[in-house]
Each structure stands twice: as structure tokens, then as C-alpha cells.
Amino acid sequence: MPLKQHLIKRNVLFVLVAIVIFLMKAHYHGPLSGVFHDYGGNFTASFAVYFVVAIALIGRMYWRLITAITALLVVESFELTDGFGIMSNVFDPLDLLANAAGIGLALAVDWLIKPKA
């Protein structure tokens, strides 16, 4: 399988994993459940956005860095513009940190789980 197709499939898998975790967060009642309920959505959505953006940028020069910056701009803009004026969004300054952490983990996973060329 060509590298680009492999990366697309891998990135879609990561998006789906983030969606499943996002949907299951309401059922989590373990340690730090308040933090997970308050910021888990931001974290998982940001993680997913990174891999969605990555699909469009695969193979471009510095694509991981550009992906991280673009994804961070998208999720932080969503926060700061109250859901782009389309969706209702409750702003909490710690949401910005949760977004950045989700992007950071996505970048780390992307870097560490590289397909063999």
C-alpha cells in the first residue's frame, strides 16, 4: 500500500478513536472525572482535528509542524469566537490549554507512530 494511503487510513483511525473517547466521556466516573468531563471534549476534539488537518497536508514540507499550527489555530479560534458564531460554546480559559494539550498529544503520536517507508 502506498505511504500516503497508509497515512490516510491511520489518521482516520485516530479520528475515530478520538470520537469514541469523546462519546464515552459521559460514562467515565473514575479519578479526575470532573476534569475529564470539563476538558476531555476539548482534548479529544483537538486531537481529532489534528488528524483531519493532517490528511490534507500529508507529504508537504514540514507537514507535521504546519498541521499542528493549523489545527491549533482552528480549535483556539473556535473557542475564542464562541463556536465561530454558529455553535454555542461556553468559554473557559483552561479550554485553550486542553486544546493545546490535545494537539500536543496528537503531534507526539503522529511523530512516534510513523509508518515504515
pLDDT (tens digit, 9 = 90+) per residue, 26-40? 888 889 888 888 899
Q: What is the mean pLDDT of residues 14-30?
A: 92
CB-hemisphere CA count at 13 Å for 12? 6
In a domain, 77, yes or no: yes
Domain that holds residue 71: 3-112
Does pLDDT of 18 surpass 60? yes
In a domain, 117, yes or no: no
Closest by CA position to 79, among listed 59, 52, 99, 55:
99
User: What is the pLDDT, as a whole number, of residue 30?
Assistant: 87
User: Would the pLDDT of 89 be above 90?
Assistant: no
pLDDT tens digits along 46-86: 999 999 999 999 877 778 899 999 999 999 998 888 766 67
**Total domains in the fold of the chain:** 1
115: which DSSP letter?
A: P
| 83 domain-assigned | yes
Q: Which residue has the cell 469514541?
A: 20
**Do 114 and 57 contact (CB within 8 A), yes or no?**
no
- Is 9 part of any domain? yes
For range 92-114, the mean pLDDT:
93
- Whether residue 105 is contained in a domain is answered as yes
Report H helices in 25-115: 33-57, 63-80, 93-112
Q: So what's the pLDDT on residue 59?
A: 78
Is 99 inside a domain boundary? yes
Residue 56 lies in a domain: yes
- Where is pLDDT greater, at 53 or 115? 53
Task: Tell me, letter by letter, the H, E, C secondary structure of 6-34.
Answer: HHHHHHHHHHHHHHHHHHHHHHCCCCCHH
Residue at 94 is within a domain: yes
- Residue 114 pLDDT: 78
Residue 7 has pLDDT above 70, yes or no: yes
